[in-house]
Amino acid sequence: MGSVYNIKKNTWKISGHGKLQGRIIYKKGIKMIKSFTCSQCGKSFRRKYNLEIHKRIHTGEKPFTCTQCGKRFSAKPNLDIHMRIHTGERPFTCDQCGTSFIQRPALKEHMKIHTGEKPFKCDQCGKRFTRSRNLKEHLNIHTGEKPFTCTQCGKSFTRKSILKNHMRIHIGLKPFRCEQCGKSFSTKPNFDVHLKVHTGEKPFMCDHCEKRFSNKQCLQVHLRVHTGEKPFTCDHCGKSFSQKPSLMVHMKIHTGERPYKLFTCDHCEKRFSHKQNLKVHMRIHTGEKPFTCDQCGKAFIRASVLKAHLTVHTKEKPHSCSVCGKRFSLPQTLQVHQKTHTAVREYMCFECKKTFTSSSNLKTHERIHSREKPYKCSHCHKRFSQPAYLKLHESIHTGEKPHTCDQCGKSFKKLQNELSHVQNKYSLLK
C-alpha cells in the first residue's frame, strides 16, 4: 500500500506543491520517506489515516451524520465545521470590517475584497477573479458549457451555486425570511433586494434620466430604454427584445403554445403568467388606483397609464411616425401605429386564430371568448369588457357629455355623434 524511498544526503522526495510526499522515518541511520498511495486514482498521502478518509470518495462512505439535519460526511472535521451552521459559531473574523466566517479559507478569500487582489484572469475577456474556481466557472460562459444539470427537470447551469439555488424550487426551500412582512426567499440576493422594499433604498441611479433602482440588474435592463439595445432576437421573425422573458412569451406566438399561466384571480378566474400582473389586475376588482395625477387629481391603476395621461396636460407628442408623420405622446403608441403601415399582426388568439397588431387589442378580443367583464359601474351593477364602454355607460348616470362641437358648443356623449353632427350641419356650408 505504501512506497518507501531512500533519501540520500541533501536529496528529498518532493511533491509538485513543494511539500514532502510522505512520512519521514529513519532506518539504520538513513532518512527515508514513506507515502501511502490510493490504488484507485494514484494520489499519495503522508499518513495512512488520510488515505483511509480519501478512499471514501471512491466508496461513497459517509459515516459521520449531523444530528440536526441528517446531512452525512466522510470525515469528522467536516462534520465539526458543518455544525457551526446550526450553532451560529463563526470563529474567523475579518479585522478590517468585522465580518465573521465559519471557515478560515472563507476569511482568506474575503480579505481579497479589501486588498483588491484578483490573481486569476480570463484570457477571453480580461475579467479577473479572486478564486480559481470562479474563473473556471466563468469560462463556461465563453465555451457555452453547462456542466451542472438538475436531476429533477434536466435544466443545465454554468455554475454549481446556480444549480444549488435552482434545486430549492423543486424542494420548496426558502431559507431566507423577511422579519418585516414574513415573506420568504430561496436565494439571498433576492432576499437582499426585497429588504430594500421596506427601507426604500435605491442606490443604483440611471445617468440618463436619474431614475433609481434597488438592484444593479434592474438598472442594467432599464438602460436599454436609452441605448435601444435589444439583445434577445427571435429566430423565426427576427424581432428583438430588451429582456429574455419578453422573447420567451413572444416565441409562443410561433409555436402555438398557450402561455403557462400559474396565477389565478379569485374574483373572475382570469389567469396570469406573472404574479405582478395578477396583482395589478386585482385593482380592477378592489378599485385601488395608487397612481394619482398631481395636475387634476385623476387616479390610475398603472404608472404607465398615469404617464400617458400626463401628456394630456403637457400636450407633448415627441414621437413621430416616419411614414405618415403622425405624432404620439408615447413610443408604445407609435409602435402600435406603425404596424398599420406594415400590416404586421403578430398577436394571435388561441381560440379562433384571429390576429392583432397589439397585445392590448388581443386581450380585449379574448374577453369575447372568456365573457369576462372586469369593469363595473360604480352607480349600478352593470359590468363591461372595456373601460371605454364603462365610461360611456357612466355618463348616463352623471349626465356628462365630454364631446363638444367647436362651431355651436353643443355637447355629445359619444365622439361618433359629434362627428356626425359636424358633418351633417356644417359640411354643406363649406
Percent of the chain at pLDDT above 90? 4
pLDDT at 406 over 50: yes
Every domain of the chain and the residues it spans: 2-59, 237-397, 400-429
Distance CA 430, CA 428 (A): 6
**167 band by pLDDT with thresholds 50, 70 and 90:** confident
Global pTM value: 0.36
pLDDT at 412 over 50: yes
Instruction: Decide whether 237-397 matches 400-429 in CATH topology.
Output: yes
Handedness of CA 195, 200, 205, 210 (dihedral sign): positive
CATH number of 237-397: 3.30.160.60
pLDDT at 383 over 60: yes
pLDDT at 4 over 70: no
Contact 422, 415 (CB under 8 A): no
Contact 122, 136 (CB under 8 A): no
What average pLDDT is seen over the chain? 80
> All 3 cell numbers of residue 171?
424542494
Report pLDDT for 65.
Answer: 92
The H-or-E segment that residue 81 falls in is helix 76-87
Q: Which CATH architecture has domain 400-429?
A: 2-Layer Sandwich (3.30)
pLDDT at 266 over 50: yes
